């Protein structure tokens, strides 16, 4: 028996999207997340249009469709072939149509649909005020939840940030999947010069908590009110998932059990020069403007590798600025040679992986569980002994054709990107705090 992987592509309203799988010629999905950055997801799907059904104004089935009011819902369908078990549907990408390209030479026609994740689309909305509950402590969790949920106007009212996708109302909902930390109790101070929600999230909110924040699924909610809900994951401050939200993946050249194979020919390693930070300036430029500068001991050795976040909601109390700046410098100032990317295909999974790996394969493909997880890679290089490196999954490129799917993971150093986990991590190797 073998693990089979199929795909389902639907486009339309969140309640009843149309299945376009039979028209799909190819599909590419790119999703990336990182510390202090709003995660981004984009999907491009090329559809066969030889019958002209998708041609705007052409009289076909979808000729009058308002494409930019449609959602895109991509799922993997996995099962162990040869068993009576049903295929399990896992959400891989959910987003909103942002581009429509028609190619038609009078004989042959295709349409390429581009969709982007909910935060990318919603972030274009203009901002009047920072949404906050007056009279209550200003905590990061509440600020993030309120300002992801909906927008505020100049009259104090609210309006949807996100396309309705056929529902009377839409909103964003944040799920904090990070481990508890005392940083979460810090009271913040609100000042912003941002003009869009994307700027607010990227310049002020996310750097305030060194968050890993990204869009996941889009769902139809029926209670307590009917709405289109845009779900968002948040892993703030220590950027470490809870135990319940963690799944460890293992990639080896000869897989067994729950381990995955990978393509050694496309496996890449590199120094982390692009992510090196030996100087961090954190502060605010509005309200009581000020900042704090943290510098690593190797600053002179490698010259300036500086990052700057000076629009945060942190307080200038002598504590919050230094904490945020030092978290970055302490974690990311060490040069490391580490795996950078690896690829695995659906055909490799079917041929080489054990049936016992199917649950982890589903988790890897699922947008809710496949990113910012630990991935251990074991390989033997030319003329070298076997090596194992612990990494964190920071992104993925999924290229799908009718006969295969290639999943290419972007990976970074695990030690630098999580906090110490008791009974799991190693002293003098993994970081405390």
- Looking at the DSSP bridge assignments, the partners of residue 293 are 281
Q: Which phi and psi angles does 252 have, rounded to 5°?
A: -135, 165
Residues 6+ apart with CB under 8 A from 414: 374, 375, 389, 390, 391, 392, 430
Same-domain status, 13 and 115: yes
Same-domain status, 290 and 320: yes
Query: Which two structure tokens, joined as six digits, stand for 340?
Result: 């950078």
Whole-prediction pTM value? 0.94
CA 205 to mean position of chain CA atoms: 17
Final residue in a domain of this structure, among 235, 262, 282: 235
Same-domain status, 75 and 156: no
CA 33 to mean position of chain CA atoms: 4
Same-domain status, 265 and 362: yes
| Residues 296 and 306: beta-carbon distance below 8 Å | no
Same-domain status, 403 and 257: yes
Final residue in a domain of this structure, among 89, 121, 153: 121
Same-domain status, 35 and 100: yes
| Residues 191 and 208: beta-carbon distance below 8 Å | no
Question: 154's torsion region: left (phi>0), alpha (psi -120 to 50) or beta?
Answer: alpha
Q: Which phi and psi angles does 21 have, rounded to 5°?
A: -55, -40
Tell how strand 279-284 and strand 290-295 pair up: antiparallel
Tell me if 428 is assigned to some domain: no
Tell me if 211 is assigned to some domain: yes
Same-domain status, 211 and 169: yes
Tell me if 242 is assigned to some domain: no
Q: Which domain holds residue 401?
A: 249-271+336-417
Q: Which phi and psi angles does 153 have, rounded to 5°?
A: -105, 180
CA 295 to mean position of chain CA atoms: 29
Same-domain status, 16 and 158: no
| Residues 337 and 275: beta-carbon distance below 8 Å | no
The pLDDT assigned to 158 comes to 82
CATH of the domain at 380: 2.40.30
The rounded distance, in Å, linking the Cα atoms of 218 and 307 is 33
| Residues 396 and 416: beta-carbon distance below 8 Å | no
Final residue in a domain of this structure, among 332, 352, 367: 332
Number of other residues whose CB lies within 10 A of the CB of residue 269: 16
Same-domain status, 295 and 348: no
The pLDDT assigned to 425 comes to 61
Number of other residues whose CB lies within 10 A of the CB of residue 229: 20
Tell me if 23 is assigned to some domain: yes
The rounded distance, in Å, linking the Cα atoms of 333 and 280 is 10
Query: Which two structure tokens, joined as six digits, stand for 103?
Result: 């190619």
Average pLDDT for consecutive 10-residue bins of the chain (433 residues)? 94 98 97 97 98 95 96 97 90 98 95 98 90 82 94 77 96 95 90 89 95 98 95 96 96 97 95 89 83 88 86 92 93 92 98 97 98 96 88 98 96 86 56 51
Name the residue among 69, 72, 48, 70 with its Cα closest to residue 60: 48
Tell me if 210 is assigned to some domain: yes
Same-domain status, 24 and 154: no
237-263: b or e for each residue (b if 16 or more CB lie within 10 Å)? bbbbbeeebbbebbbbbebeebbbbbe
Same-domain status, 107 and 188: no
Same-domain status, 255 and 174: no
Which position has the token pair 């905590």? 139
Q: Where are the beta strands (DSSP E) in 272-361?
A: 279-284, 290-295, 306-309, 337-345
The rounded distance, in Å, linking the Cα atoms of 16 and 412 is 38
Tell me if 28 is assigned to some domain: yes
Tell me if 429 is assigned to some domain: no
- Number of domains observed in the structure of the chain: 4
Q: Which phi and psi angles does 272 have, rounded to 5°?
A: -85, 40
The rounded distance, in Å, linking the Cα atoms of 73 and 16 is 11
Tell me if 95 is assigned to some domain: yes
């Amino acid at each position: 028996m073998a693990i089979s992987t199929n795909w389902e592509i639907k486009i339309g309203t969140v309640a009843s999207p149309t299945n376009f799988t039979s028209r799909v010629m190819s599909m590419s999905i790119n999703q990336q997340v990182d510390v202090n950055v709003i995660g981004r997801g984009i999907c491009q799907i090329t559809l066969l249009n030889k019958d002209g059904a998708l041609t705007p104004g052409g009289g076909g089935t979808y000729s009058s469709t308002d494409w930019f009011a449609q959602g895109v819902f991509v799922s993997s369908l996995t099962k162990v072939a040869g068993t009576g078990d049903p295929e399990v549907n896992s959400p891989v990408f959910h987003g909103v149509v942002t581009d429509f390209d028609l190619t038609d030479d009078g004989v042959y026609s295709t349409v390429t649909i581009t969709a982007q994740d909910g935060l990318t689309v919603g972030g274009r909305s203009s901002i009047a005020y920072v949404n906050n509950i007056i009279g209550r402590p200003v905590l990061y969790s509440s600020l993030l939840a309120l300002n992801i949920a909906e927008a505020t106007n100049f009259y104090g009212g609210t309006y949807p940030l996100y396309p309705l996708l056929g529902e009377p109302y839409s909103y964003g909902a944040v799920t904090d999947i990070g481990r508890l930390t005392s940083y979460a109790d810090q009271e913040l101070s609100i000042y912003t010069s941002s003009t869009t929600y994307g700027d607010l999230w990227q310049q002020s909110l996310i750097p305030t908590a060194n968050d890993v924040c990204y869009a996941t699924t889009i769902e139809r909610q029926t209670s307590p009110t009917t709405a289109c809900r845009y779900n968002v994951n948040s892993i703030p401050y220590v950027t470490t998932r809870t135990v319940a939200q963690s799944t460890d993946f293992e990639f080896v050249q000869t897989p067994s059990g729950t381990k995955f194979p990978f393509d050694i020919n496309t496996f890449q390693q590199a120094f982390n020069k692009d992510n090196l930070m030996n100087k961090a300036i954190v502060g605010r430029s509005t309200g009581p403007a000020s900042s704090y500068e943290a510098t690593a001991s190797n600053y002179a050795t490698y010259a300036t590798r500086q990052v700057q976040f000076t629009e945060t909601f942190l307080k200038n109390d002598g504590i919050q600025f230094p904490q945020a700046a030092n978290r970055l410098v302490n974690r990311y100032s060490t040069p490391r040679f580490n795996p950078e990317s690896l690829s695995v295909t659906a055909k490799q999974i079917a041929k080489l992986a054990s049936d016992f790996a199917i649950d982890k394969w589903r988790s890897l493909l699922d947008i809710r569980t496949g990113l910012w997880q630990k991935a251990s890679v074991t390989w033997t290089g030319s003329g070298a002994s076997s090596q194992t490196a612990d990494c964190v999954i920071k992104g993925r490129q999924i290229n799908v054709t009718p006969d295969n799917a290639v999943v290419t993971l972007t990976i970074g150093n695990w030690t630098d990107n999580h906090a110490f986990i008791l009974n799991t991590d190693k002293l003098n190797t993994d970081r405390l705090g």
